[in-house]
Structure 1
């Protein structure tokens, strides 16, 4: 216990002597691990959105109307028999094995939904029900099977086109995943800077205390007793930076995602601070391990005992 207290006293004495360098280690560690936390939050958010999107993925079978082009609908607007045939296929026919549920959206309902999502503007005020497409909205058992359903209906009589949200959402998720990768790259660069800064701080500390370490060596102090205070110095600085990064991660999850974006975009399920508690232990572990490794290797190389 006395040895541990002695090493801790030596550690805090060195921290006071090298306040500027220690503050630099804390800040660089804080910034780098904050980027790691932001990337982890972003990936968690993408996973949450992906799961929610696949649960609600619909295939839209747009039916021919009087305004459809001759190329897409050579027989004109869909007839009642054609509509019944499509509905039978969804209920009991070839497509039924892939369909979880479906609903018919009339032109009037399509106009109402469009106005509700876009709001009243000068452009939408002139729209009429006849301008909107009639459709079947199909929810699948397995969202990955949408190409099969698309193929079944794309050439069916009375169908103008078949569309799904997969392509658009894949582009959105690709952008979000790209941002995650960018954040990780920045974090990796900053972590390298933090490791180098920890190493430099330990080297300067060892150089400034070379007389003390020489005396300790002469009186018979063990290698671990001489080296560990320098390692503790790097670990404490990295631990403070890690805890600050944890706090920043919690703030982003709670206030940016959990509150502000939830109010701004109510249709998307955003994560909250509970996700940050899963990420925090990893941030602390990464910060401490990097500090231990870089400090220990530096001490072994530059501190001869």
Structure 2
């Protein structure tokens, strides 16, 4: 098959069915963009897990006056009890990597800085308790610390930040999987649209196809222009989607979020570059298979 003839057939086909080709481009673009967002969401969760699990802490809350914790009996932790708790934590090394003491005043100041609009930010220090913040060598060893500290005199509660983070990561995973599920529906719509486009294109060019059969053209020669038209439209849509994904990460994540929220880790452009080849190759494969199967069925009629 001569290249000039093939390019001419592809150009004529795209001109004749411009509206359908544009529809394929748009549907492919939306579906691949949603898929890219879902994949970026998964990579963001993994990035944040690696970042935050290294910083996860166990908080040993001490008692304050009139506290609601029943183990405190409304009494504040004494200096002797505070010292005993710290010594117990020190004895848990190497499971416990570091121990930091946070006073009532420091806890109140940190809360005001983090939750400026909360009513508790104007309530005063009496609503806050001092605590020990514990960095673990292995975040999975929370139970070792909790079993040793809980029930000690002067200890109100032992809180694991990892459980709070896991709830957040579960939510993030749900959102990203929802985007992937929605993109799957859009991919299904793209497949149906490609199939419809192929059938209409083949029907509109049935005379040319018949002539090509009469002169001895093979099925492969007849089908290739149709397939390449579909692949070009699909790749164009996927390319636009990846360009949108690149802009989203560059300006939305790297340019804004990473500069605004400096105390966490975010994905970057290298993560987009990893996804792009898989998306484009998947689109080429999907468009090729869909158009080839549709044409195979048509040529049997």
Q: TM-score, normalised by structure 2?
A: 0.93
Aligned 8 A contact 1:65 1:76 in 2: yes
SS in 1 for 2:100: strand
How far apart, CA to CA, are the structure 1 residues paired with 2:6 and 2:40?
38
2:170 to 174, 179, 188: 174
2:52 maps to which residue? 53
DSSP-derived class of the 2:71 partner? coil
Residue 120 of structure 1: CA displacement? 8.1
- CA positional deviation for 1:11: 1.2
Greater displacement, 164-173 / 52-61: 164-173
Structure 1 match to 2:31 = 32
In structure 2, the partner of 1:223 is 219
Q: Which runs of 5+ in 2 are unaligned?
A: none
Residues of 2 paired with 1:123 and 1:138: CA distance? Answer: 25
Q: Which residue of 2 aligns with 1:234?
A: 230
Distance 1:247 1:187 in 2: 17
Q: Show the 5 A alignment for 1:160-199.
A: 160-199=156-195
Q: Secondary structure at the match of 2:2?
A: helix
* CA deviation after TM superposition for structure 1 residue 33, in Å: 0.6
- In 2, the alpha carbon distance for the partners of 1:75 and 1:81 equals 17
Moved more, 199-208 or 287-296: 199-208
Contact kept, 8 Å, 2:64 with 2:74, in 1: the verdict is no
Q: Cα deviations across residues 215-247 of structure 1 (Å, max 9, x unaligned)?
A: 112222222111111111111111101101111
**Aligned position for 1:117:** 114
For the residues of structure 2 that align with 1:70 and 1:14, how far apart are their CA atoms? 75
Q: Any unmatched runs of 5+ in structure 1? A: none
Match of 2:6 in 1: 7
Q: Quick one: distance in 1 between partners of 2:81 and 2:119?
A: 36
Query: Counterpart of 2:72 in 1: which secondary structure?
Result: coil
Paired residue total: 301
